[in-house]
Structure formats: structure tokens, C-alpha cells
Amino acid sequence: MPSMPLAVDDILAGLAARCGAVETSVFRGQTRVVVPEPRSFEALAWLKEQGFDLLIDVTCVDYLEYPGAKHRYGLVYLLVSTATNCRLTVRVFVDDPDPTVKSVVPLWAAANWLEREVWDLFGIRFSGHPDLRRLVMPQEFTAHPLRKDYPLQGRGERHNFPIITRDHS
């Protein structure tokens, strides 16, 4: 952690210097920055060095039906610095086929299960993740249910169990 915490603008400038052009935007006081996928790990590692030591959330949005979206999946990293209480949202966009991002488990232990959940529900692979198994769905499940092309009611998996009657029990 640096001795003097940087202001958000400095951080964004530093990020741009390190990772090429980054898009930034502010909405309702929340600063968001889009980092290109190949440099995402580097950028996040640098941000951690700058004092963003608490990873609040890793999640994903499937932009399949979103009007005006350029990419299919947008990962969201929510970072907080416990020293300055400054928040930053980092976005990384990936696309079909085989969306892959580098895992941030080496930086934050918290990312372990969060990334597993994203893999489970969106099918985004995290390269370098120590244990990338499904988290919430059964291991033998085949789809990624939070994708927009998966129906709310599922494809009948929930009915596919043997029936036990009074006779069987």
C-alpha cells in the first residue's frame, strides 16, 4: 500500500498509463472503468497495490438482449479501499465462444467462490483458478442458467428425478 492514498483521478490516470486506453464513466457518484480483457489481471493487481484491498463482488452481466450492447458478457469487479473507503467498479468485457478471463484468486481470496459462481451461472472460464467447479448447481448439470438464452423455468431438469411412491418407501 502506498504511503499516501491516491485520489480516484490519479488512479484512473495511472491505470490508463499501464493498460492502454481505458474507458471511464461516472454514474450517481460511482466511478466505473472498463479494462481490456488481456490486461485485466495486471490492472486489478495494480489497483490492489494502490490500496483497493477489499474485493466486494465479482459478478457478470449477460448483454445478449441489451439494447446497444457491443459485447456479450460484462464482468463486474467491485473494489473498496478499506483505508480511504473509496469505491471503484472495474468492468471487463468478454465474448463467445469460450469466454475466458484470468482469475484474480491470487490477489483476493474472496474471489474464489465468487468466480466459481460466475462460472456456474454464466459459463465464463477463469484461467488459473485453483478449483473451478460448479458452486450452486449440481455438478452433473449441463447448462448455465443465468444466461439470457436459458429460460426462467429451465428446460425440464427440475422434473427429471425418479418418483417415490408409497410402495417404494
Partner 1 sequence: MSIATPEFGTAGPEAGARSEDYLWTLNFGPQHPATHTTLRLVLKLDGERVVDAMPEMGYLHSGFEKIGEHLSFNQYVTVTDRMNYISPMANNVAWHGAVETLLGIELTPRCTYIRTIIAELARISDHLLSNGAVGLDTGAFTFFLYGFYQREVIYDIFETLCGARFTNSYTRVGGASHDFTPLVIEKIRIFLKNFPKTLNDMERLLTRNRIFVDRTKGVGVLTKEEAINGGATGPVARASGVTRDLRKDDPYLAYGDLDFQVCCASAGDCYSRYLVRMQEMRESLRIVAQALENLPAGPVDVGIGQRVARPTKQQVYSTIEGTISHFELSMSNRGFEVPHEESYAATEAPNGELGFYIVGDGSENAYRARCRPPSVLHFALFPQLIRGHTLSDVVAVLGSLNIIAAELDR
Partner 2 sequence: MAVVHSGSSGGLELPENVMVGQLDALANWCRKNSLWPMPFATACCGIELMATGAAKHDLARFGAEVFRFSPRQCDLMIVAGRVVMKMLPVLQRIWQQMHEPKWCISMGACASTGGVFDTYAVVQGIDRFIPVDMYVPGCPPRPEQLIQAIIDLQDKIQREGTITGREFDTAGRQLRKRALVEMAGPLTSDASRNPMLQRELAAAADAVAAKT
Nearer to partner 2, 29 or 156 (CB): 156
Site map for partner 2, 79-118, x if CB under 8 A?
----------------------------------------
Q: Which of 58, 66, 166, 65 is nearest to 120 (CA)?
A: 58
139 in contact with partner 1 (CB under 8 A): yes
Please state the closest distance from residue 20 (CB atom) to partner 1, in A.
23
Beta bridge partners of 91: 34, 76
Q: How far apart are CA 143 and CA 123, in angstroms?
A: 8
The answer to whether residue 133 forms part of the interface with partner 2 (CB under 8 A) is: no
46-65 burial, b at 16+ Cβ within 10 Å, e below that, comes to bbbebbbbbbbebbbbbbee
Task: Give which of 55, 49, 59 is closest to 14, Cα–Cα.
Answer: 49
For position 88 contacting partner 1 by CB under 8 A, the verdict is: no
66 is written with which cell numbers? Answer: 441489451
Report residue 35 as a C-alpha cell: 479494462
Interface positions with partner 1 (CB under 8 A): 27-28, 30, 32, 53-57, 59, 61-62, 66-68, 76, 78, 82, 85, 89, 108-110, 112-114, 117, 121, 130-131, 133-139, 145-146, 152, 162
Interface positions with partner 2 (CB under 8 A): 136-138, 140-142, 145, 150-169
